[in-house]
Amino acid sequence: MTRLPFQTREALDDGGREVWDSITATRGSIVTDEGTLMGPFNAWVTAPGIGGRLAELGAALRFESSIERRLLEVAIITVGARWRSEFEWWAHSRMALAHGVSQEAVDALAGGTPPPLPDDERIVHQVARQLVDDGHVDPATYAAAAELLGDRGIVELITLCGYYTLVSFTLNAFDVALPPGEAPTWPTDTTSS
């Protein structure tokens, strides 16, 4: 279930179709059997003036970054776990594993416990976690990240964390569902008062 009507490419205006084509050209299998887009992309083709720019930024952050993909995925799943963004977690925990992040670390992040990480992943995780906790990075963590990634890399990392916070908010606010047959990592509390 989603709060937005699902869009098909044929039902979109020229701007929406242009964004659709750009998104599908740079990402894997994101078109459903029903001919709609998974993840945040349905929202983005609904508002193509914003969505196109967001899709371009996401592609640049993931595919043009100076940061190794394994480290990018650590940051993304740290952000996704913080916001309990089911779709983001579903997509990127799998990518993290595929790019060399350990199963133990992924499981710890999902469970909200400190993950066992090698030094480079630990530094990236600390930056992402501090940002999503209070919007700041302490001096020691910043210095370690700057040494690891350089000035360009630290700008990319901080931007990536902000971008995936936006993606998490989009997915959560519009109740974007997991693909059929996938179970949530964080079941919702149905007993709330």
Q: What percent of the chain has pLDDT over 90?
A: 72
| 55, 145: one domain | no
Q: What is the mean pLDDT of residues 12-35?
A: 85
Q: Give the pLDDT confidence score for residue 189 in this predicted structure.
A: 56
88 within some domain: yes
Domain of residue 30, residue span: 12-61
193 within some domain: no
| 122, 54: one domain | no
Number of domains in the chain: 2
| 28, 122: one domain | no
pLDDT in tens, 90-121: 999 999 999 999 999 999 999 999 999 999 99
Which has more confidence, 16 or 78?
78
pLDDT band at 136 (very low <50, low <70, confident <90, very high): very high
Tell me which of 16-30, 100-114, 171-185 is least confident: 16-30
Whole-angstrom distance, CA of residue 13 vs CA of residue 165? 28
Q: Which two tokens stand for residue 2?
A: 């989603």
* CB-based contact 4:42 (threshold 8 Å): yes
